[in-house]
Amino acid sequence: MPVKNIAWRIALLAAALVTMLSTITPVSTANADDTPAATTQGLTPVTETQPANESAAVACGRAIVLIERFRGCGSNAPFAVYTWRTIRGRKVMTGRGTVTLSHRFQLQAKKRTWTYTLRTKFKGYGELAAGGTTQVSLPCRGCRVKGNPLGKLISGKTTSQTFKVSSPGTRKKTYNLIPYWRWRPVGMRWTRLSPLLTENKIRCDTTRGFGSGCVYRDAVPFFTLSRKATNATTGVSESAWLIWNNQRDPKRGHYGLYGKGPKLHRTTDRRIRDANFRKSCPRSLPRPTGKSCDEYPFQSTLEGASRNPRYTSAMINARHNTNAGRKLNSFYVANRILNRDAFWVTIT
């Protein structure tokens, strides 16, 4: 075949190849017509809620934050991140990834401080395999925040950022501390800040008899007594049975029973406490030897006998009554149950 014909055929093939390639969108970012963009899809703020018992929060929540009196733990649902470039007039996805954000709050019962840790789990593909940077914002009016707001996105890794927050002064204050999050891939602009929680109410106070400390305002703790604690000297079983029978009597209103009746609320008002005791355990009631008068709902609650006709009272083992009262007072202090704070009562 003449060289001229071969050259002509090669020229035709080259022209056809150029035409074919021009119809395919290139993936090389060198041909991008504009500045690359990053987007977030599916990042939804999570709500906080309380588990049915205090041990349920140990495993943490998924797509929710479980709170106890002094800690919160959970995560946002996994969400997607993308990078985009306009190549030859067409918008092309050049990278994709998945992110899971996990939260842990630890409050201090004896200090006006708490810590917040955000763990970022990331996996990137394409352009996002190179990772990027995250930024956490903790706007907190009236409190002080310390910690590095910038973190790294490393594909296949989980990174942590910890912040220490303090509440100055001695006045009782409630903070709604909502973390915000944004990210940027290597060489690109930041995305918009997005809230990670719907609310996060933390109360700090300095109170006589309690000192200073912080709690989750909306976390209602559980006071527990056992019917099996029958020892005549150290037990509480007779007090526990009194509460058990009251809570399970439909005519009594199920006070303090989680999922059935209303919460109890502590009162520090001596006049209410005395009125409750006079109503449930008047001096006119005979006290057999070794017995004392016990009542439920407790004398130290707003739901006590002077305000609630559905109370129960009985003469029980005096030591059991005293032991149960001491446990209740210790519970108030340990959980920072202030005046009008709510709590549940669980009998095992």
Write down the domain spans for the chain.
25-216, 222-347
Which structure tokens are listed for 161?
């950022």
pLDDT at 51: 72
Indicate the DSSP class of residue 102: E
- The predicted structure's pLDDT at residue 4: 42
The answer to whether residue 169 scores a pLDDT higher than 80 is yes
Q: How many CB atoms lie within 10 A of CB 230?
A: 14
| pLDDT score recorded for residue 297 | 98
pLDDT at 60: 77
Q: What is the mean pLDDT of residues 174-192?
A: 93
Q: What mean pLDDT is predicted for residues 237-259?
A: 97
Beta strands in 42-137 (DSSP E): 48-49, 64-67, 71-75, 79-87, 90-107, 113-126, 132-137
250: burial class by Cβ within 10 Å (0-12, 13-18, 19+)? exposed
Tokens of 321: 């009554």
- Three-state DSSP class for residue 65: strand
Residue among 293, 312, 294, 311 nearest 303 (CA): 311
Query: Model pTM?
Result: 0.83
CA dist 5 and 16 (Å) reads 17
Tokens describing residue 219: 């976390």
Q: How does residue 23 score in pLDDT terms, banded at 50, 70 and 90? A: very low
State the pLDDT confidence band at 94, using cuts at 50, 70 and 90.
Answer: very high
Question: Two tokens at 33?
Answer: 């017509």
> What confidence category does residue 59 fall into, taking pLDDT thresholds of 50, 70 and 90?
low
Q: 140 with 114: CB under 8 angstroms? A: no
Task: Give the model's pLDDT for residue 63.
Answer: 83
In the predicted structure, residue 7 carries a pLDDT above the cut 80: no
Q: How many CB atoms lie within 10 A of CB 303?
A: 22
For 200-225, what is each residue's pLDDT tens digit? 999 999 999 999 999 999 999 999 99
Report pLDDT digits (tens) over 113-165: 999 999 999 999 999 999 999 999 999 989 999 999 999 999 999 999 999 99
What's the whole-number mean pLDDT along residues 238-244?
98
- Span of 49-53, 244-248, 262-266 with lowest mean pLDDT: 49-53
Task: Please say whether the dihedral angle defined by the alpha carbons of residues 194, 196, 201 and 204, taken in this order, is positive or negative.
Answer: negative
